Amino acid sequence: MQTVNIKINGKELSVPASYTVLEAARLANIDIPTLCYLKGVNQIGACRMCVVEIKGARSLQAACVYPVSEGMEVSTNSALVRESRKTTLQLILSNHDKKCLTCVRNRNCELQTLSDELGIGDIPFEGEVSDARCEIDNMSPSIVRDNNKCVLCRRCISVCKNVQTVSVIDAKERGFKTNIGCAFDKSLGEVACVNCGQCIAVCPVGALYEKDTTEKVWQAIEDTAKHVVVQTAPAVRVALGEEFGMPIGSRVTGKMVAALRRMGFDRVFDTDTAADLTIMEEGTEVIERITQGGKLPVITSCSPGWVKFCEHNYPEFLDNLSTAKSPHEMFGALIKSYYADKADIDPKNIVVVSVMPCTAKKFEAERPELSNGGNQDVDMVITTRELARMIKQAGVDFVNLPDEAFDNPFGGASGAGVIFGATGGVMEAALRTVAEVLSGKSLDDYEYKVVRGTDDIKRAEVDVAGRTIKAAVAHGLGNARKLLDAVKAGKESYDFIEIMACPGGCVTGGGQPIVDAKKQMDINVKAERAKAIYAEDKSLPIRKSHENPVIKKLYDEFLEKPGSHKAHRLLHTHYTERELY
């Protein structure tokens, strides 16, 4: 690796020649403030918060885009630099909606943090349109946009266009009238937005946030006529602790269960159990298509953001999608049928609340296809962030809670169900079961590490009972587009494909705790949360979906067998081609 010698604040450094000044400073533990910059997403030098003095340069330069060179001398903290940053921040604040105490990002806002660090005591400028209010866009079932809080950092544009390749938002107008929005001033709910929420995850302020459902959940809990059941997705347990000051990747499964009980839910169930059920249904589908000459490749359907992306962009692949509902929707259907019968409760009096790492699940829960007998499978979806807010509202001391177990009759899940939360997890979970069903014997080597990790696209050929299964895994919709385009062009062929809408999979879904840009320079959030997922898998006594006794009992008592008529009626769905605006 080629290096260059530079000086930052008089400190001599040898750094990779490919680095920017910002990266070099970070390597030396020298802090340079940023606002528009986000590693791997947005490096455009637009906000001018990261300006530095370069010896010999005629003006201040943006450290996030300025490359290092041999002999360069940099000052990050001169009087000129400090004054420039402070003035820039005051100008940004001059037209910002400063109702911080009522903002969803209060105390987790990069603009707020910068104002504190730079010692902003007053704002001498008044924005030209400071009295004008932008209309809040809340027509989407998942995402709310409040341009009154927007700082024009363009991170949301970059992640939507360059990472997800959805491209439904961009900068409009020019100069002081510049704003972020959809073409023809349409709402996010009127365009081909897939509700993935990655725009929320990258926003440094409160300009984007999930549509809040917490008050409806509280109302349901308080309604004595309702039996309120909550289920939690696998990725929630490895992120929720961050909202209470715990390190990234902390596993808090038992504390999460304890908190939900103290909030007043009647039953606390694990969506991982339904993930095991998904494997039984989806795995059976994979086996049947491979052995009986069905439509290949089979493509996973667990991620609602991916499903909607497919409906808009790749309708020709809709027949390739597994018809299996996503795990939480399967669980909702079971709770309002099997569980309702066992507990002798009218399904109309059962409220199913899903705690998800995903904003697209809010949209998914409203799909008319995901209902039975006039009841939606899932009534309400809250994100990991919303759950954290509710726990705080309830005055629960989360960090010091004891570990508690999920309720029966769905108390047990396998490790295969847990790993659904990480990219490659659905594929590995399916292979663990498909391999044993096809071979007719229990296998000791059932960890398919070849599909793990955060590479953009993972390709593998797996020997299963003497048969080679060609598999691929893509996470992030930009990577999904590359993979599907290759399949469409006949350049690549597969038997089984896993696609997750969010980069890293559910662990870094649009509803997970937001990690600021500074931390993301040093920590691979995707990897740390995934590490916790695989650690939980390893700790469980049962690690294959088909060995889960809860699942066996479900089929024995209710569903008959995987792929049965009853299973199809309750646990499978269909998809709809949508216009691409």
pLDDT classification of 528: cutoffs 50, 70, 90: very high
pLDDT at residue 132, rounded to an integer: 57
Whether 553 and 495 map to the same domain: the answer is yes
Q: What's the mean pLDDT in 558-579?
A: 96
Mean pLDDT across the chain: 96
- Split at pLDDT 50, 70, 90, the class of 415 is very high
Average pLDDT over residues 409-418: 92
Are 353 and 525 a contacting pair, CB within 8 Å? no
What pLDDT score does 464 carry?
84
Q: Are residues 400 and 494 in the same domain?
A: yes
pLDDT of residue 129: 54
pLDDT at 127: 74
How is residue 413 written in tokens? Answer: 């899940």
Give the DSSP letter string of 185-198: G--GGGTT-----H
Indicate if the pLDDT at residue 411 is higher than 90.
no
| Residue 246 resides in a domain | yes
414 and 314 both lie in a single domain: yes
Order of strands, sheet of 227-232, starting from the edge strand that comes earlier in the sequence: 267-270, 227-232, 350-356, 380-383
pLDDT, tens only, 329-349: 999 999 999 999 999 999 999
What does the pLDDT average to over 470-487? 98
User: Same structural domain for residues 198 and 249?
Assistant: no
In a domain, 405, yes or no: yes
Taken in order 228, 233, 234, 239, is the CA torsion positive or negative?
A: negative
- Are 549 and 235 in contact, with CB atoms under 8 Å apart? no
Q: Break the chain down into helix, strand, coil percent, rounded to 5.
A: 45, 15, 40
Domain span at 482: 215-571
For residue 579, tell me if it sits in a domain: no
User: Distance between CA 94 and CA 98 in Å, rounded?
Assistant: 9
CA torsion 353→358→362→365, rounded to 10°? -70
- Please report the pLDDT score of residue 258 as a whole number: 98
| Span 252-300, pLDDT tens digits | 999 999 999 999 999 999 999 999 999 999 999 999 999 998 999 999 9
3-state secondary structure 37-63: CECCCECCCCCCCCEEEECCCCCCEEC
Q: Output the furthest CA–CA distance in the chain (Å, rounded).
A: 79
pLDDT classification of 216: cutoffs 50, 70, 90: very high
CB atoms within 10 A of CB 477: 29
Shared domain for 79 and 113, answered yes or no, is no
- Across 504-512, average pLDDT: 98
Q: Under 8 Å CB-to-CB from 255, ≥6 apart: which residues?
A: 241, 398, 399, 401, 402, 403
Residues identified as active-site = 282, 285, 302, 322, 361, 364, 369, 506
CATH number at residue 203: 3.30.70.20
Do 205 and 330 reside in the same domain of the chain? Answer: no
Q: Based on the domain organization, do 142 and 280 belong to the same domain? A: no
Q: Confirm if 45 and 65 have CB atoms less than 8 A apart.
A: yes
Total domains, the chain: 3
99 lies in some domain: no
| 147 and 197, same domain (yes or no) | yes
Q: What is the pLDDT of residues 75-101, one digit of tens each?
A: 999 999 999 999 999 999 998 999 999
376 in a structural domain: yes
pLDDT above 90: residue 373: no
Q: The domain spanning residue 546 has which CATH number?
A: 3.40.50.1780
For 549-569, what is the mean pLDDT?
A: 96
**Domain-terminating residue out of 210, 243, 271:** 210
Contact present, 148 and 209 (Cβ < 8 Å) = no
Chosen domain end from 180, 210, 240? 210
| 412 and 540 belong to one structural domain | yes
Residue that is last in its domain, among 178, 195, 210: 210
Separation between Cα atoms, residue 181 and residue 252, nearest integer Å: 37
Residue 576 within a domain: no
Average pLDDT over residues 545-567: 96
Packing angle, helices 110-117 and 79-94, rounded to 10: 140
| Percent above pLDDT 70 for the chain | 99
CB 261 within 8 A of CB 289: no
Note whether 213 and 381 are within 8 A (CB).
yes
**Same domain for 194 and 229?**
no
pLDDT digits (tens, 9 = 90+) for 416-456: 999 999 999 999 999 999 999 988 999 888 999 999 999 99
The CATH number covering residue 51 comes to: 3.10.20.740
578 falls within a domain: no
* Domain co-membership, 193 together with 255: no
Sheet containing 467-475, strands listed edge to edge, beginning at the edge strand earlier in sequence: 298-299, 496-500, 467-475, 457-464
Domain assignment of residue 127, yes or no = no
Burial class of 508 by CB neighbour count within 10 A (0 to 12, 13 to 18, 19+): buried
Same domain, 384 and 526: yes
CA distance 250 to 50: 32
pLDDT digit string (tens) for 389-401?
999 999 999 999 9
